Chains A and B, each alone.
Chain A
Amino acid sequence: MKNLLLTIIFLMPLGCLGELFLEITKGSEDPYRIAISPFDGDVRTSNQLHNIIRNDLMRTGEFSILDEELLLPIRIKDDELIYSDWKLLGMDYLITGSIIKTKNSIDVNYEIYDIHKKKKVRSSKVFGIPNQIRQLAHYTSDGIYESISGIKGIAATKLLYVNETKNSKSISAYKLMLADSDGANEKVLLTSSEPIISPSWSPDGKKVAYVSFETGIAKVFIQDIASGKRESVLSKSTQISSPSWSPDGKYLSLTLYQDGNAEIYIMRLRDRTLTRMTNQFAIDTESSWSPKGNKIIFTSGRSGSPQIYELDLRKLNPKAKRISFEGTYNAKASYLPKEEGIIFVHRSDDGLFHIALKYKKENFIRVLTEAKMDESPSVAPNGNMVIYGIKEENLSMLAGFSLSGARFKLPASEGEVREPAWSNFLR
C-alpha cells in the first residue's frame, strides 16, 4: 500500500455566485384563484356577461372564482391598484372591466391584474354588435384564460350535434344542430325525418360533413353553413359513412361499403377521386386525421374485436399499426392536438363503455369517465377538454370534462342530443 500524504487546499473565492439544484416530488391540487369584479356599465348586460364568463372559466376546471359577496371594492392609490387587499383574500388574479353600449355597438374593455407580481398584465377590448353579447363574453373568457394559463381558450368555439325528438306517435324527427361551446345559441342546420349521424367540421369552420339516411341508405353530405348549400360526396349508390376532414381541408376520409365490408378510403375533394386505404376482410371505419395530416387512426375489427390502428400516409404502401392493446373494445379514436396521445371509447371488463385517454409514451390507458354507455368523444382544439355523449335515465345528452378534472353536462332543450363534434379555433 502506497503511502502518500495528500494535503488538500480548499480555496473559496468569496462572493461567488453559486447555484443550488433542488427536486420537488410531490404537490397538492388546486386551481388559479381569481376575482372578477362586476364590469362597469349597463347592469343587465354586465350581469349577463359576468355569468357567461364565470361558466366558461369554471368549465375549464382551472379556476376557483371568488364569490361575489366576498368581492372588495377596487382601491386605487397613486394610479396603482392596492394589491395587498387581494393578496389577503388569497387571490392570484383580479379581473376588472367596463361595458360601453350604444344603439349599434357594444365595447367590452377588461384588465387583468397579477396580484403576486403586483402589476397589470393585460388590457383588452372586444367589440361587436348588441346581439353578439354572448360572443363578447366568450372572447373575454378566452382572453382571461389565455393570459393566466398560456393556453388558448375554447369559449369562442362551436359545437355540432344531432338532436332527435319524437312526436306523439313516436315518429322521430332529426336535426343537425350548431351551437356555442356552452350549448347556447342553437341553430338548426338540417331537419330530416331520417337519421343523421357523424357530423364533422371542416377545419375552417365553414362547412360540415355528415351522414344522412334521407335516400334510404347511409350517404355522406357536405353542407355550407352560411348558405345551406349541400351535396352528396359520391353519386354512386354505394353506402358511405364516417366522414373526417383532413387538417388542410383538401381531403375527406370516408368509410365505403362497396367492397362487401367497411373499408377506409380517402377522397380528394377537388376532383372527388378516391384512394383505398384498407383492404382486409374485417370492419375498418371511424377514421380520424393527425394534426399534421400525415397519419390517420381508425377502428378495425381485424384482430377479432374493435381496436385502434394507425396508418402513416407518407409511406408508399402504408401498413396499419395497432396502437390499442388493453381490453376487447376500443373505438372512435381521435388525436390530441399536439399528438401526445389519443382519446377514444373503451369498453372495460365489466362491459361498460367509457371515454379513455392514452398517452403515446405510456403503455397503459386512463379511463376518464364513469357512466355506463359513454360514446362519441370529441376533443376541443386546445386539447384540454372533451365533449361526449351519455345516457341518463334513458335520455341521451352531452357531457364534458376538462383534463384538469372539471365536469359539465349539456342536456337537450327538447328530445335527445348526441354525436357532438367540437370545432377548430374560430378566432
Chain B
Amino acid sequence: MDEKNTMKKFTNSFLTISTLLLFSACSSMQVTEESVADQSVAGVSLATKSTATQAVLANAVVYFEYDQFNLTSKSIQVLKGVTELMRNNSKITISLEGHADERGTREYNLALGQRRSESVANYLIANGIKRNRLITKSYGEERPLSLGSNNLAWSKNRRVEIK
C-alpha cells in the first residue's frame, strides 16, 4: 500500500524521547556585554648574518629523482670523486646539505632533504670515510637553486650540496 511508504508510525521508544526538549524554539532574548581584549605584540629582529658555508667543492652536487632519496649512477660517479678527495685530505670535514623541490609539504620536504643527505653520507661511510667527518643537514625546499615551477627548475633543486 502506497500510504504505508509515506508514513512511519511510532513505537513506544519514540514517545519517551518526545518529552525531552533539546532545542526550544521559544528561547528568550540573548543579552550580552563584552569588552574587546587587548593584545600587545613585540617584534624581534635578528641581526643579519650569513650562514652560507664555504664554496661548494668543485662539481660536488648530486641530484635526485622526484620523491626519491636513493643515489643514481650519475650521483655515484660524483661521489667517487668526493671519496677520493676525502681520502687524500684526511683532516677535512664536509657538510652534506640536502634539498627538495617545492612540491609537497614543507616539513616532509625538510625530512626528505635530510634523507638525501644521509644517503650521500652512507655511501661515503661505506667507502671508508669516518662518520665524524660528515655533517648532514637539510634545508628542505627553503633554498631553491632555481626559481620556477616547472620540471627543469624542480630537477635542479632536488640535490645534496657537498661543501
- Residues of A at under 8 Å CB distance from B? 19-23, 117, 119-129, 132, 135-136, 139, 143, 147, 158, 178, 187-195, 197-198, 213-218, 223-228, 230, 239, 241-242, 255, 257, 260-262, 283, 285-286, 299, 301, 305-306, 329, 331-332, 345, 347, 353, 372-373, 375-376, 391, 394, 419, 426-427
Contacts and interface: CB of A to CB of B under 8 A. Distances in A.
A426 B37 contact: yes
Main secondary structure of the interface of B (DSSP, over half): loop
A260 B32 contact: no
Given A143-B32, A226-B39, A21 B137 contact: no
A305 B138 CA distance: 19
A213 B139 contact: yes
A143 B107 CA distance: 37
Contacts of B33: 124-127
Given A22-B6, A143-B32, A225 B106 contact: no
Contact of B7 (A22, A192, A419): A22
B149 A391 contact: yes
Contact of B29 (A122, A135, A189, A426): A122
A44 B58 CA distance: 64
Given A353-B103, A427-B37, A241 B30 contact: no
B44 interface: yes
Interface in B101-119: 102-108, 110-112, 114-115, 118
B8 A260 contact: no
Given A194-B46, A262-B115, 8 more contacts: A122-B29, A124-B34, A187-B41, A190-B45, A216-B53, A218-B137, A226-B39, A228-B43
B35 A261 contact: no
Nearest to A137: B36
B161 to A, nearest CB: 13
A305 B106 contact: no
Given A217-B137, A353-B103, A124 B51 contact: no
B55 interface: no
Contacts of A345: 104-105
Contacts of B18: 19
Contacts of A126: 33-36
A306 B37 CA distance: 41
A353 B104 contact: yes
B30 to A, nearest CB: 5
Nearest to A197: B106
B93 to A, nearest CB: 14
Contacts of A226: 39-42
Contacts of B50: 193
Nearest to B46: A192
Contacts of A375: 104-106
A419 B32 contact: no
A190 B110 contact: no
B48 interface: yes
A136 B103 CA distance: 40
B126 interface: no
A122 B30 contact: yes
